[in-house]
Structure 1
Amino acid sequence: MLAQNGIPTAEDLARVRPTAARLAQGPVAVTECFQNIPCDPCYHSCKRQAIKPFADINDRPQVDHDQCNGCGMCLMRCPGLAIFVIDQTYSETEALVKLPYEFLPLPAAGEVVDAVNRAGKVMGEARVEKVQSGAKLDGTSVVWLSVPKDLSMEVRHFKIREVR
């Protein structure tokens, strides 16, 4: 499936998903990098060594979810925009999804957007909680979305409802 349409299969996602017990402990990085390419900035950015050393630069990143504190340094350094931070402890009903974003205009905190899945299908509404941007982020902004908890492992992008 991934090779034909760019959308990972349920099996692909199961291999990178943190356990339910780990998700219940707080923010954690999820690497949805499914291609063997020469890339390892995520490994070098992780001060906690939660991203395991690569045997070969073409390896895909492997996260030790128990070591990860969800700081997002790897997310900001991933040139493939393939890392997300999920916090299912955000509230009783909502999770926080931090995702890389390289488009303009940037959304504003408080704005309601359409949350979309990996295939671009609208899954529901999300609220922009925070937008991080600046020179330290190398041109990649990080948008924090609050989404219904049951969508936290599905929502991977969003659509701004109206262009300002």
Structure 2
Amino acid sequence: MSYEEDGVLELEDLNLPSEERLKKGPTAIIECIENIPCNPCVDACPFNAISMEKITDIPEIDYEKCIGCGTCIPACPGLAIFVVDISKEKAMITIPYEFLPIPEIGDKVKALDRKGEIVSEAKVIRVKKNENKTNTVTIEVNKEMGMIVRNIKVVK
């Protein structure tokens, strides 16, 4: 089933970095599929790794320029950018997070897939509060979950 039918993106719907690039270290993954006038991610990237020909195009990442700094994550009003690092034993995923309560470093949380279903446990590694209220949370999950997990559920 396509995202146009059920609203859920699949990996084949996305422009993803190569396996080789993913093994090099963190990189942003843009899961934006809407051709709407929006380009804050382009302006936010200090490495000029994100580009768009027209303001209504879907943003594209130059994965050789992207260092996975995550500056683009809170800039995206659609919460459609994540940083994934599967270069080590565990996967690290940085997600946009606008819910309360905000998790704390060391918290164990439920890791959710694109459907919002619990697929794993995760450990909160970093929390960055941003002025625009789109916080970023970095979680650690098993490596095979790196391209699957896209949100968390805080259980207090």
TM-score, length-normalised on structure 1?
Answer: 0.91
CA distance in 2, matches of 1:76, 1:107: 17
Matched, 1:125 2:121: yes
CA distance in 2, matches of 1:42, 1:5: 26
Distance apart, 1:10 and its partner CA: 3.6
Map of 2:10 onto structure 1:
9
Distance apart, 1:4 and its partner CA: 2.3
SS where residue 64 of structure 2 aligns?
A: coil
CA distance in 2, matches of 1:153, 1:73: 20
CA distance in 2, matches of 1:9, 1:144: 22
CA distance in 2, matches of 1:59, 1:119: 25
Runs of 4 or more consecutive aligned structure 1 residues displaced over 4 Å after TM superposition: none
SS where residue 80 of structure 1 aligns?
A: coil
CA distance in 2, matches of 1:134, 1:46: 16
CA RMSD in angstroms comes to 1.0
The one-letter amino acid paired with 1:18 is P
Distance apart, 1:11 and its partner CA: 2.1
Distance apart, 1:2 and its partner CA: 1.3
Gaps in structure 2 of 5+ consecutive residues: none
CA distance in 2, matches of 1:126, 1:102: 18
SS where residue 35 of structure 1 aligns?
A: coil
Q: How many residues align?
A: 155
The one-letter amino acid paired with 2:43 is H
Map of 1:49 onto structure 2:
48
Distance apart, 1:9 and its partner CA: 3.0
SS where residue 24 of structure 1 aligns?
A: helix
Matches within 5 A, 1:1-164: 1-13=2-14, 16-52=15-51, 54-89=52-87, 91-92=88-89, 94-135=90-131, 138-162=132-156
